[in-house]
Amino acid sequence: MKDYSIDKIKNVAIVGHGSSGKTSLTSTFLFNGGATSRLTKVGKGNTVTDYDPDEIERNISINSSMCFLEWKDIKINIVDCPGYTNFLWDTRASLRSVDAGVVLVCGVAGIEVGTEKVWEMLKEADLPRLIIINKLDRENSNYKRTVESIYQFFGRQAIPVQLPIGEEQNFTGVVDLVARKAYIFEKNESGKFKEGEIPAEFKEEADKKIEELTEMVAENDEKLMEKYFDKGELSSEELIEGLKKSIINKQLFPIFVTSALLNIGVQPILDGIVNFFPSPLERGEIKGEEGTVKPSLDEPFSALVFKTISDPYTGRISLMRVFSGKINPDATVTNSNKSVSEKLGGLFFLQGKEQIPAGQSKAGDLVATAKLKETSTGDTLCSKGASLKFPPINFPEPSISFAIEPKTRADEDRISQAVHRITEEDPTVRIEREPETNELIISGNGQLHVEIITDRLRKRYNVNVDLKPPKIPYKETIKGRSDVQGKYKKQTGGRGQYGDVKIKMEPLPKGKDFKFEDKIFGGSIPKNYIPSIEKGIQEARKKGVIAGYPVVDFKVTLYDGSFHDVDSSDIAFKIAASMAFKKGMKEARSTLLEPIMNIEVYSPEAYMGDIMGNLNGRRGKVQGMEQKGSLRIIKAQVPMAEMLDFEPTLTSITGGRGSFIMEFSHYEEVPGQLQQKIISDAIKEGRVKSEEEEK
């Protein structure tokens, strides 16, 4: 493997909305750079970067994938990122590994929800970016319409550096406004082209666009501005120099054109990546949690693990960006997040799933290692004693949950280890036991995300599960007071059973759970039976009375009772206490409580009215609204029971442009008209008995 110095490396993420052609473009890049011997089409596992069985089956990118090529003596590391909303967490993490972003826009659909979201991520990561209008060979593609949509969403800083030659099936080449030349491509996908003068029919438009581009570049550099005023133009070399500076400073975002599928215009884009994007050296120092890290071989080794691949056969593979220093394949390093030492399991460069051994890894490069025991995504690795640490990767909170039920006893036995492997690879998925309902709950970023996780459980780890809507963890409480007796008396021919308790029940403030007070005086109940009485109430309250849910926020005062010298026992007083509790619950105006969730909905302003109407229909209470960039945020409180199908509804309302986060807030009383249905369901499920059965 050729050794590249830090100034000869470019690290680039390919991002965009799902199906905008990211994997096709990556594949065509690899072909033109000689990394693959033929131009492969997306689908059926043909491409280097879509190799996961789920990706092949669904024909979409689910995971970020690494590959590399050489172009004009420069090593270009590419991270091909997913574009569908459910998997953008992986894109966000991958942006921590690169120095620039290539944003794909479909020439038919224009700007889509995924385009907006990845653009916001690139802004947050403060990365230079270029824009590519892809699929210009397709029917109904339209260059001018797409450019207008780019201006609308990304502003006039987005500036064309190319014009297409021909439309739809007649798209055959590009006019390069920087080089002031035209490139006409052969229609055989070879990537071969003829270079020539700009065709006469494009000359007027090209001259106008060259002037606009030159003015915008000159505005960002005083020296170039002086030359432009003096000569009235800039040379191609001056334009490249000024454009690179403007792109690195995030002042301009050049727009290229292509058909990745037909290999038209792809080589000039590779030239653009080499000419305009920064090397790790040009990007400069990287912020750590304390101070900055210089991209130098002379500095201590430091790297960020931006992705973990967990495979049942090859084990754990950690993908990392080396920010400083150098490291050997057998080195021992420090995980500064967990304060542990880790022995590297070799070093290799990834070409999709193919592992190419790396003799050494140096600052600025992307590399992978295997079998780290403690390290997870977002952790920092560094030289012993260096104590460097990079800011953590912020992952989104899950937005949708389902109950999962193993199909067989064998599946139940295997699920624990499988869950550990799944969550290693995907830090946004949660699989936890809900203590209130005893269900195993899986939470993810959307229904597709959860379905793919359950598919992986089945395919990779041979764990078969059923997906069900989760049970709502209702609770019961009391609104009034009661004074009741519970008496348990049983004669069986020999020694009997006898326990008699008198208790008072009253509500406690929200969140106070349960309090037991012993006010027995005069020995009406011996002290040794008091713990059994409390235990009887504790066990009874776990199952509730009206619908079988735990009872909270109440106080029991034991004030009287009686006992029998021979027949009384711990079990008798435990049963008597349970009987008293059930009576007391009915007399103290018991009621149901439901969990209320804090919701934040992110959406373009155009959909605000429909979303608020939908939340109101879900018994939601809107708490306020905020602006964040181009998005509006609605803050509301909504019962959990009403949120089970909100994700597909929000997708439908906003065309996929909306997202939301949800977390528990508090419990509130269920409205009377809804309580009866919950109680009826509980009776059907056998959690409680009906009044007739009680009699």
Predicted confidence at residue 182, as pLDDT, reads 97
Tokens (6 digits) for 397: 């909170």
Quickly state the pLDDT bin for 39 (edges 50, 70, 90): confident
Predicted confidence at residue 693, as pLDDT, reads 64
Indicate the average pLDDT of the chain: 92
d(CA 371, CA 351): 19
Predicted confidence at residue 43, as pLDDT, reads 59
Least confident of 64-68, 396-400, 486-490: 396-400
Predicted confidence at residue 387, as pLDDT, reads 82
d(CA 183, CA 195): 5
- pLDDT tens digit string along 1-24? 688 999 999 999 999 998 899 999
Closest CA to 366 of 337, 327, 339, 310: 327
Give mean pLDDT, residues 535-556: 94
Predicted confidence at residue 356, as pLDDT, reads 95
Counts of helices then strands in the chain (DSSP H, E): 18, 36
Task: Looking at mean pLDDT, say which of 349-358, 433-442, 463-472 comes out highest.
Answer: 349-358
CATH of domain 593-674: 3.30.70.240
Predicted confidence at residue 629, as pLDDT, reads 63
pLDDT at 482 over 80: yes
Give 11's contacts (C-beta < 8 A, 6+ positions apart). Answer: 77, 79, 97, 98, 99, 100, 280, 321, 364, 366
Tokens (6 digits) for 633: 């945020």
Predicted confidence at residue 630, as pLDDT, reads 67
Predicted confidence at residue 50, as pLDDT, reads 81
Quickly state the pLDDT bin for 540 (edges 50, 70, 90): very high
Using only the alpha carbons of the chain, give its radius of gyration: 33
Do 400-468 and 593-674 fold alike per CATH?
A: yes
In this structure, the chain runs to a length of 695
Closest CA to 81 of 22, 147, 166: 22
- Is 3.30.230.10 the CATH classification of the domain at 8-283? no
Do residues 393 and 462 make contact, with C-beta atoms less than 8 angstroms apart?
no
- pLDDT tens digit string along 636-686? 999 999 998 898 899 899 988 888 878 888 999 999 999 999 999 888 888
d(CA 429, CA 421): 11
Give mean pLDDT, residues 87-105: 96
Give 365's contacts (C-beta < 8 A, 6+ positions apart). Answer: 4, 9, 75, 77, 321, 322
Least confident of 52-61, 151-160, 556-565: 52-61
Quickly state the pLDDT bin for 469 (edges 50, 70, 90): confident
pLDDT at 610 over 90: yes
pLDDT at 695 over 70: no
Do residues 597 and 643 make contact, with C-beta atoms less than 8 angstroms apart?
yes
Burial of 456 (0-12, 13-18, 19+ CB in 10 A): buried
Give mean pLDDT, residues 143-151: 94
Predicted confidence at residue 323, as pLDDT, reads 98
Predicted confidence at residue 694, as pLDDT, reads 64
Domain 476-588: which CATH number of 3.20.20.70, 3.30.230.10, 3.30.360.10, 3.40.50.1360: 3.30.230.10
Tokens 């389902």 map to which residue? 402
Predicted confidence at residue 40, as pLDDT, reads 73
Query: Residue 93 carries which side chain, given as an amino acid letter?
Result: A
Tokens 């492969």 map to which residue? 40
- Would you kindly state where each structural domain of the chain is located, as residue ranges? 8-283, 286-382, 400-468, 476-588, 593-674
pLDDT at 399 over 80: no
Architecture of domain 400-468: 2-Layer Sandwich (3.30)
pTM: 0.81
Tokens 């002379």 map to which residue? 298
Predicted confidence at residue 233, as pLDDT, reads 86
Do residues 404 and 419 make contact, with C-beta atoms less than 8 angstroms apart?
no
Give 231's contacts (C-beta < 8 A, 6+ positions apart). Answer: none
Q: Which fold has domain 286-382?
A: Elongation Factor Tu (Ef-tu); domain 3 (2.40.30)
d(CA 230, CA 226): 6
